[in-house]
């Protein structure tokens, strides 16, 4: 949200209102107050709030009734009940009639209250974003219907577009000799014009390869070939129709499977027409070969597969597993790494697989993090003293930990326990505390 969240506090006791304002003084919220349910409704009519915190026991309209009326008129507003005693009937009525998000007992704990409000605001923002995305999806679906209605006419346009792409590939031959990077970007953009968004994986694969090669240097020629191959590896899919593009590879059978198995060879043949791309074309042609010889197109085995093609295969599968392009589901980052380990020795070069998995367990170039000091770790690898470098949210979108939070042993144990209850595995982006700062802290003590 571009503006600070608005929180309305309702209580008939001025001392309570002042106390709550003090508690929230360090927060970024716009805090509004009302001394009665009637006044609260008047304020909401003029200035809707994101979150309402209401005392239960108030003269006239009590908190449960107020939250029920707010729920009816402002359903998006997050409602929290503040009760001076454990009044089960009032809480039950507020849940049933007002659909409250949470209730807080007096006297409250300041830290708990701030944490609950942060979660409430985060929940409001996530719901707001969900509604925005639903509206966007509806708009896109309508556009898709219009697109499908024109499909027959667009077939000829696509054929012309593919012909134009081939023509551009030929005409770019001379320029490619002088500028590999620029020309590769042009080709990659042309590919992305044809492929659906979730198939536009070349950017992430390039990031992974570039970061891995910084830690495991190779000669400049092989590095250039690998980066160009990462940008152009799916060139052979340009001739696929929409139905085939929408399938995960495990769901392809018969003729569809045959076309899938030809895409590396087709891309390699297209690029072999351009002399500066011969090295990249060879890596693309063989990147679907398997360590045990069961791959395609030539059933190469072990060391007969070019090293660059072996690395490209690992990086392609790592990203495509997460995008749902191989299996008929999206695989989490941690599980994708586990599959690379599990299939080492059959599909992948075992030594290269071990090196890449170890690298990606500590670095996250595929998540937009190029800082070598930042590590992507599962909860079982966390250690006290590590600093969180990106907010951690729950599966439901609630903020669990803020960026900059120092992890403690107790906090790590709570995260592991929370994973068990939610049946989910989290990957945290963390870095170790600055060593010089630690030395200064120890000297001061």
pLDDT tens digits, one per residue of 342-364: 999 999 999 999 999 999 988 87
pLDDT score for 195: 76
Question: What fold characterizes domain 6-129?
Answer: Rossmann fold (3.40.50)
| 3 state DSSP class of 30 | strand
Strand order in the sheet with 102-105: 30-34, 6-10, 51-55, 78-83, 102-105
Sign of dihedral through CA atoms 143, 149, 151, 153? negative
Answer whether 83's CB lies under 8 Å from 63's CB: yes
The CATH topology of domain 157-367 is Hypothetical protein af1432 (1.10.3210)
Q: Are strands 427-431 and 375-378 parallel, antiparallel or unpaired?
A: antiparallel
C-alpha R_g of the chain: 28
Residues 6+ apart with CB under 8 A from 176: 183, 274, 276, 277
Q: Sign of dihedral through CA atoms 162, 166, 169, 172? A: negative
> How many whole angstroms separate alpha carbon 277 and alpha carbon 272?
6
Q: For the stretch 107-138, what's the b/e string if a residue is b when 16 or more beta carbons lie within 10 angstroms of its beta carbon?
A: ebeeeebbebbbbbbbbbebeeeeeeeeeeee
Give the model's pLDDT for residue 437: 40
Q: Residue 46 is encoded by which pair of tokens?
A: 């003029």
Contact 62, 56 (CB under 8 A): yes
398 CB neighbour count, 10 Å cutoff: 14
**Average pLDDT, integer, range 244-259:** 88
Ranges of each domain in the chain: 6-129, 157-367, 375-444
Question: Tokens standing for 347?
Answer: 């599909």
The pLDDT, as a whole number, for residue 31 is: 92
**Residue 201 and residue 231 in contact, taking contact as beta carbons nearer than 8 Å:** no
pLDDT digits (tens, 9 = 90+) for 112-145: 889 999 998 888 888 888 888 888 888 888 877 7
When pLDDT is averaged across residues 202-222 and rounded to a whole number, the result is 92
Q: How far is CA 106 from the centre of its chain?
A: 39
Q: For residue 265, which of 239, 241, 242 has the smallest C-alpha distance?
A: 239
Q: What is the pLDDT of residues 359-413, one digit of tens each?
A: 998 887 877 665 667 777 888 889 999 999 877 877 666 788 888 899 999 999 9
Question: Are 6-129 and 157-367 in the same CATH fold?
Answer: no
Instruction: Taking residues 35-45, report their average pLDDT.
Output: 93
Q: Is the pLDDT of residue 441 over 70?
A: no
């Amino acid at each position: 949200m571009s503006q600070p969240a608005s929180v309305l506090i309702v209580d008939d006791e001025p001392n309570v209102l002042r106390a709550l304002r003090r508690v929230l003084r360090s927060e970024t919220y716009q805090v509004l107050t009302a001394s009665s349910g009637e006044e609260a409704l008047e304020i909401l009519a003029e200035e809707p709030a994101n979150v309402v915190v209401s005392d239960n026991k108030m003269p006239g309209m009590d908190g449960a009734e107020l939250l029920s009326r707010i729920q009816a008129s402002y359903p998006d507003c997050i409602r929290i009940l503040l009760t001076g005693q454990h009044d089960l009937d009032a809480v039950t009525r507020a849940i049933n009639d007002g659909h409250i998000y949470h209730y807080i007992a007096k006297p409250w704990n300041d830290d708990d209250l701030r944490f609950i409000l942060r979660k409430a605001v985060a929940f409001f923002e996530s719901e707001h974003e969900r509604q925005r995305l639903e509206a966007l999806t509806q708009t896109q679906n309508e556009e898709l219907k219009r697109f499908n209605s024109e499909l027959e006419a667009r077939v000829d346009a696509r054929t012309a577009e593919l012909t134009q792409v081939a023509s551009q590939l030929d005409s770019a031959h001379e320029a490619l000799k002088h500028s590999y990077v620029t020309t590769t970007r042009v080709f990659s953009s042309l590919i992305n014009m044809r492929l659906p968004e979730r198939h536009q994986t070349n950017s992430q694969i390039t990031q992974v390869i570039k970061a891995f090669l910084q830690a495991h240097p190779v000669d400049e020629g092989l590095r250039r070939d690998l980066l160009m191959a990462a940008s152009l590896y799916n060139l052979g899919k340009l001739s696929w129709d929409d139905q085939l593009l929408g399938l995960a590879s495990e769901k392809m059978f018969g003729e569809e499977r045959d076309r899938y198995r030809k895409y590396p060879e087709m891309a390699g043949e297209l690029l072999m027409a351009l002399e500066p791309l011969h090295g990249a074309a060879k890596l693309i042609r063989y990147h679907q070969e398997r360590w045990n010889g069961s791959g395609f197109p030539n059933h190469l085995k072990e060391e007969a597969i070019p090293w660059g093609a072996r690395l490209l295969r690992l990086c392609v599968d790592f990203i495509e597993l997460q995008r749902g392009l191989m299996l008929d589901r999206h695989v989490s980052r941690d599980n994708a790494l586990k599959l690379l380990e599990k299939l080492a020795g059959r599909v992948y070069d075992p030594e290269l697989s071990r090196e890449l998995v170890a690298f990606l367990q500590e670095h996250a170039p595929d998540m937009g993090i190029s800082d070598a000091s930042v590590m992507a770790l599962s909860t079982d690898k966390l250690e006290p003293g590590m600093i969180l470098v990106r907010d951690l949210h729950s599966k439901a979108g609630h903020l669990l930990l803020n960026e900059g939070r120092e992890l403690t042993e107790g906090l790590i144990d709570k995260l592991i326990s929370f994973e068990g209850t939610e049946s989910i595995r989290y990957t945290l982006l963390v870095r170790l505390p600055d060593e010089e700062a630690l030395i200064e802290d120890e000297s001061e003590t």
